[in-house]
Amino acid sequence: MRTSIATVCLSGGLVEKLHAIAEAGFDGVEIMDSDLVPAAESPEEIRALCARLGLTIDLFQPFRDFEGVDEVTLADNLRRARAKFEIMDRLGAKMILLCSNVATATIADHEVAAEQLGQLADLASEYGISIAYEALAWGRYVSDYRDAWKIVQLADRPNLGVCLDSFHVLSRGHDPREIEAIDAEKLFFLQLADAPHMQMDILSWSRHHRLFPGEGDFDLISFVSHMIRAGYRGPLSLEVFNDTFRQTDVRRTAKHALRSLRWLYDRACAANSWESKIDAPQPPRAIDFVELTGEDLGEIEQALHQLGFVFGGRHRSKPVRLWQAGEANVILNEQPRTQGTRLGSLGLLVDDAEAAKRRAVAIGAPAAFRRTYEGEYDLPGVLATEGIEVFWNARTAEESWRDEFEGGSTPGTESMRGVIDHINIAYPWQEFDEAVLFHTSTLALGAEPASELPGPRGLVRSQVMRTDDGVVRIAMNLAPPTAPLLPRHIAVRVDDAISVARRAKERGLPFLPIPDNYYDDLEARFGLDAELLAELQELDLFYDRDEQGSFLHFYTPVVDQVFLEVVQRIDGYDGYGAANAPVRLTAQRTFESETA
């Protein structure tokens, strides 16, 4: 399948965009009139540049407000069109996108629209140009692709067909199944955009909040499947108007954009049992390990010890130490000259680690390099978002990277036993959507609905990516743009958070102090019995409850951008204590300023 992208998706000038689009690996481009007009280069120069970069000009767009007008307006519209056809001729562009009339239509009659489109098509044919007619979701008389198709049939010109844009169809809730009723040779063009479900006017939703496929709530896999089953053989093209992507690094965004199309096409192939060149997703079976990197991890190490983690040994060839609590493996990797403490890598258990890596690389993730020595496990991995590396492992009980660690202690009765419940990663505003796609496309995680939590420095957007069974969960946080990046954390799930907390306190672990107001509110909300409430308050524990069950959790203070959380899920509780997040964020800020 050929791939294409509208220049409007990216930041920068036209020449910069074309270079980035070619470098990312797209086959073609939709040139936006509004990108050409301000460019210093002539249409001939842009044509030559595209040829040199190996990009086909798949579409010139848009032409607006043409049909359903009075005779005087029509004459002027034909004059406007001829001028643009002249420019397209110089560009070497063979197809123009015509949006349904928004502003100047006064005649609500398909016959009239068809007759006028026929005149436009005849004029275009003098230039060897085709017209792809698109029903805009907010078109005055034509806002449904089925009406656009009726008008195209009525006009009946060989160089007139329809353009389907997933946003315009799905934002209106129009049934995409009827795409398959359109003649294959009349499906001239396909534009793809995802979007989050939102309650707002469609025009603003479209102009500011479109996303690349896989990042929003639309079912684009079905949409593309209908197009291909209907016989569409043109490129899969992206048309994403988005405030963030218009500001971010053009080369990075172009690469990210192509990944979204590769993912989408692969998923459409899987849904239809068509052959795909990409390996099947490998849903993770567990979080195998979390690695923290920093210059001095002594404080984290002490906190792990106080919580009841057991020293699992020193790596035999690297400055790396392992701490374990049952199935929870935390690796501390001390590297000189690293800035702060960060989440260095994440290990996931899968059935086929090599296939997981091949898939990620085929979608467009850069391979990660890990130095290994004779006899050490070579874990396949890629560079994920936020500088984190992801490694896949298909280890068995007999064979494991754990064997590379020597001199560990044996767990005792005081030791904590648990699993990694979730990890929490903070993203800068420009990388959040890209990370959502990374998690779905290469880690085979699904997205829970996003939420917004009030913090002392602004609203924090939160989205959890997880496996269906919940064994792997990555909580993503988006800090307010003006605030420093939020710290990341690792949450370990245990069977008895109260006794873990009590032992950790005895061992001198500092807890994030929780204000008394919080416990007054807990009592009011849940009517907890006095004994439990007193115990929660004494130990600085958080509590939450939903229809399924309840949740106990507590946090260590932030050490150099990282902290630890201990959680206990009682019965079927499936959340993350979101209601407690504002209290936690405020407590962390207070703690920071008191200890700084």
Interface with Mg ion (CB under 5 A): 165, 191, 239, 491, 565
- Closest to Mg ion by CB, 286 or 362: 286
Give the shortest CB-342-to-Mg ion separation in angstroms.
17
Q: How far is the CB of 57 from Mg ion (least distance, A)?
A: 16
Q: What is the DSSP letter of 123?
A: H
Amino acid at 499: S
Q: Provide the angle, in degrees to the nearest 10, between the axes of the packed helices 497-506 and 530-539.
A: 40
- CB-CB contact of 445 with 466 (8 Å): yes
Cβ closer to Mg ion: 134 or 279?
134
Pick between residue 191 and residue 282 the one whose CB is nearest to Mg ion.
191
Tokens describing residue 284: 């993770």
Nearer to Mg ion, 324 or 462 (CB): 462
Reference 223, options 198, 256, 190; nearest CA is: 190
**Shortest Cβ distance from residue 97 to Mg ion (Å)?**
7
d(CA 380, CA 392): 6
Measured CA to CA, the distance from residue 226 to residue 268 in angstroms comes to 10
Between CA 179 and CA 190, with CA 184 as vertex, the angle to 5 degrees is 60
What minimum distance in Å lies between the beta carbon of 375 and Mg ion? 37
Cα torsion 431, 435, 437, 439 to 10°: value is 180
Closer of 239 and 434 to Mg ion (Cβ)? 239
Which DSSP category does 438 fall into? H
Shortest Cβ contact with Mg ion: which residue?
165
CB of 531 to Mg ion, least distance (A): 26
> Could you tell me the end-to-end alpha-carbon distance of the chain, in angstroms, rounded to an integer?
56
Nearest approach in angstroms of CB 28 to Mg ion is 16
Q: How far apart are CB 392 and Mg ion at their closest, in Å?
A: 24
- Measured from the CB atom, the residue of 239 and 291 that comes closer to Mg ion is 239
Provide, rounded to whole angstroms, the least separation between the CB of residue 575 and Mg ion.
10
d(CA 136, CA 142): 7
Q: Which token pair is 149? A: 């198709």
Whether 41 and 305 have beta carbons less than 8 Å apart is answered as no
Q: How far apart are CA 373 and CA 270, in angstroms?
A: 38
Report whether 192 contacts 236 (CB < 8 A): yes
d(C-alpha 572, C-alpha 556), whole Å: 25
Kindly report the three-state secondary structure assignment for every residue of 570-588.
EECCCCCCHHHHHHHHHHH
Q: Of 147, 268, 135, 251, which is closest to residue 189 (Cα–Cα)?
A: 135
| β-strand partners of 326 | 418
Name the residue among 483, 512, 494, 490 with its Cα closest to residue 595.
Answer: 512
C-beta of 67 vs 565, nearer to Mg ion: 565
What's the rounded Cα separation, in Å, for the pair 260 and 243? 18
Give the nearest distance from C-beta 466 to Mg ion in angstroms.
Answer: 13
Instruction: For Mg ion, give the closer residue by CB, 191 or 440.
Output: 191
DSSP-H helix ranges across 472-558 = 497-506, 516-526, 530-539
Report, in Å, the least distance between residue 327 CB and Mg ion.
Answer: 18
Of the two residues 206 and 282, which places its CB atom closer to Mg ion in the complex? 206
With tokens 């990694």, the residue in question is 420
H or E element at residue 595: helix 581-595
Name the residue type at position 565: E
Least distance CB 464 / Mg ion (angstroms):
9
Across 355-495, the runs of DSSP E, i.e. the strands, are: 381-383, 389-393, 405-406, 419-427, 446-447, 451-455, 458-466, 473-478, 488-493
**What is the enclosing helix (H) or strand (E) of 592?**
helix 581-595
| Residue with Cβ nearer Mg ion (365 or 491) | 491
To Mg ion, the closest distance from the beta carbon of 189 in angstroms equals: 9
Contact 5, 59 (CB under 8 A): no
Closest alpha carbon to 170 in 133, 96, 132, 222: 222
- Minimum separation from the CB atom of position 222 to Mg ion (A): 19
Smaller CB distance to Mg ion: residue 145 or 289? Answer: 145
At residue 78, φ and ψ (nearest 5 deg) are -70, -35
Least Å distance between CB 354 and Mg ion? Answer: 32
Q: How far is the CB of 491 from Mg ion (least distance, A)?
A: 5
